[in-house]
C-alpha cells in the first residue's frame, strides 16, 4: 500500500463527491449511521440523473452526498453533527488541511492556510480551531504506569505589565513514558496536583521536580518521586522529568515559530492538538488522520468560538 501524502490525496480526491466518499470510508468504515438517531438502517439518495451532482433549493449544482434514515426519516451527510457541520468551505479543502494538521509536527498557522487554499483569515482560523476541537475529543482514559508531570506558562504577554508567569496561563502536562500526553490549562498553578491526580490511575508512579505543589501526591498515587532541578539534579535513579520537559520544548518551539501568539482563551485547543500528535507519534499520518476523523463529533459555531 502506497504512503498517503498531500500529492497522493490531491491525485485521488479531485472532486467534492470524491472528498465526501473519502470521509465516509474513514468515519463510517463501510457502516454508515444516521447522524440524528444512530440507526444503521439508512440508504444513499442518488441524484435522479445518475450524475454526482444534485440541484439545491436555489437551483445550484452540489456534489454533496446525501443519505436518508429509514428509522427517523431524516436526511444527513457525513458532515452532519460534526465540527464540519454547515461549512461553506470545500470539503476537498477540509481534507487537505486536515491531513496537514495531522502530519505537521509544528502545526499549521491560519495565515498559511489562508494563503495556500485561498480562504479569508477568519475562515482559516475558524477551520483550524474546529480541527483542534476534534483532535481533543479522545476517550479521556486515565494515564497509568510511569508518568512524569510538570507545569509551564504560555499565552499572550501584556506589554507594560512586567514579565514573568503572572502575565500568562499555567499549563500542567502529564506524560506517560512511551505513551500518551495530557495537558490542561489551569486557572492557577495551585491546581497542578489535583490535575495530576485526575489524569492518572491510583496505581501510577509519578515523577515531578522539587516544587512544593506536588508534596501531597504520595497520598493519591502508588509512588511519587522527585528530582531537584535547583541543585542541577536531572535524574535520581528512575526519577526524572526529561520526557515531559521534551514535550514542553516541542510546544514552545511550535507556539513561537508557527503560531507566534496564542491567547489564553484558546490555549486549551492548541494543547489538545499537541497532545494528539504526541500520543499518536507511532502512527502514520494517514492513521492519525483517520483516528481524528472518527472523533469529530460536535459542532463549533464561530459565535461560540469568539464568545458572543
pLDDT for residue 226:
96
pLDDT confidence of residue 67: 96
pLDDT > 70 fraction of the chain, expressed in percent and rounded:
94
Q: Which of 295, 259, 264 is nearest to 124 (CA)?
A: 259
- pTM for the full predicted model: 0.90
Count of alpha carbons within 13 Å of 87, Cβ hemisphere only? 27
Query: Taking residues 14-28, what's their average pLDDT?
Result: 94
Q: Where do the H-state alpha helices sit in the chain?
A: 6-12, 16-28, 91-103, 110-117, 121-135, 192-199, 242-254, 267-279, 285-293, 302-306
Q: Name the fold adopted by 146-262.
A: Nucleotidyltransferase; domain 5 (3.30.420)
Please report, for residues 61, 173, 178, 203, 225, the alpha-carbon distance to residue 222 in angstroms, rounded to integers and kept in the order given: 62, 19, 19, 5, 10
Domain layout of the chain by residue ranges: 146-262
In angstroms, rounded to a whole number, what is the distance separating the alpha carbons of residues 101 and 98?
A: 5
Angle at which helices 267-279 and 242-254 cross, to 10° = 120
Tens digit of pLDDT for each residue in 132-178?
999 999 888 999 999 999 999 987 655 555 555 557 899 999 999 99
- Over residues 54-85, the pLDDT tens digits come to 777 777 778 899 999 999 999 999 999 999 99
pLDDT of residue 4: 87
Please say whether the beta carbons of 8 and 289 come within 8 A. no
User: pLDDT for 227-285, tens place per residue?
Assistant: 999 999 999 999 999 999 999 999 999 999 999 888 889 999 999 999 999 999 999 99
Secondary structure (3-state) at 42: strand
Alpha-carbon span 270 to 9, nearest angstrom: 25
**Average pLDDT of 197-224?**
95
Amino acid at each position: 500500500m502506497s504512503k498517503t501524502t498531500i500529492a497522493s490525496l490531491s491525485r485521488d480526491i479531485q472532486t467534492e463527491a470524491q472528498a465526501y466518499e473519502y470521509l465516509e470510508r474513514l468515519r463510517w468504515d463501510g457502516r454508515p449511521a444516521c447522524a440524528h438517531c444512530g440507526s444503521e438502517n439508512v440508504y444513499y439518495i442518488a441524484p435522479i440523473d445518475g450524475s454526482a451532482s444534485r440541484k439545491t433549493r436555489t437551483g445550484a449544482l452540489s456534489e454533496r452526498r446525501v443519505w436518508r434514515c429509514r428509522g427517523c426519516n431524516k436526511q444527513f451527510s457525513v458532515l452532519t453533527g460534526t465540527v464540519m457541520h454547515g461549512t461553506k468551505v470545500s470539503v476537498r479543502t477540509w481534507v487537505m488541511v486536515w491531513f496537514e494538521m495531522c502530519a505537521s509536527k509544528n502545526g499549521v498557522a491560519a495565515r498559511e492556510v489562508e494563503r495556500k487554499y485561498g480562504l479569508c483569515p477568519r475562515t482559516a482560523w475558524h477551520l483550524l480551531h474546529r480541527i483542534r476541537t476534534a483532535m481533543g475529543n479522545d476517550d479521556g482514559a486515565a494515564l497509568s504506569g510511569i508518568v512524569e508531570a510538570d507545569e509551564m506558562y504560555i499565552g499572550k504577554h501584556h506589554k507594560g505589565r512586567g514579565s514573568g508567569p503572572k502575565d500568562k496561563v499555567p499549563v500542567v502536562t502529564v506524560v506517560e513514558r512511551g505513551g500518551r500526553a495530557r495537558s490542561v490549562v489551569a486557572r492557577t498553578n495551585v491546581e497542578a496536583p489535583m490535575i495530576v491526580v485526575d489524569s492518572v490511575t491510583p496505581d501510577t508512579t509519578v515523577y515531578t521536580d522539587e516544587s512544593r505543589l506536588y508534596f501531597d501526591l504520595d497520598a493519591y498515587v502508588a509512588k511519587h518521586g522527585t528530582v531537584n532541578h535547583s541543585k542541577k539534579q536531572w535524574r535520581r535513579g528512575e526519577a526524572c522529568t526529561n520526557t515531559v520537559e521534551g514535550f514542553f520544548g516541542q510546544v514552545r518551539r511550535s507556539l513561537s515559530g508557527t503560531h507566534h501568539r496564542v491567547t489564553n482563551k484558546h490555549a486549551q485547543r492548541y494543547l489538545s492538538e499537541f497532545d494528539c500528535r504526541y500520543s499518536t507519534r507511532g502512527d502514520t499520518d494517514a492513521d492519525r488522520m483517520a483516528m481524528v476523523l472518527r472523533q469529530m463529533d460536535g459542532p463549533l459555531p464561530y459565535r461560540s468560538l469568539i464568545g458572543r
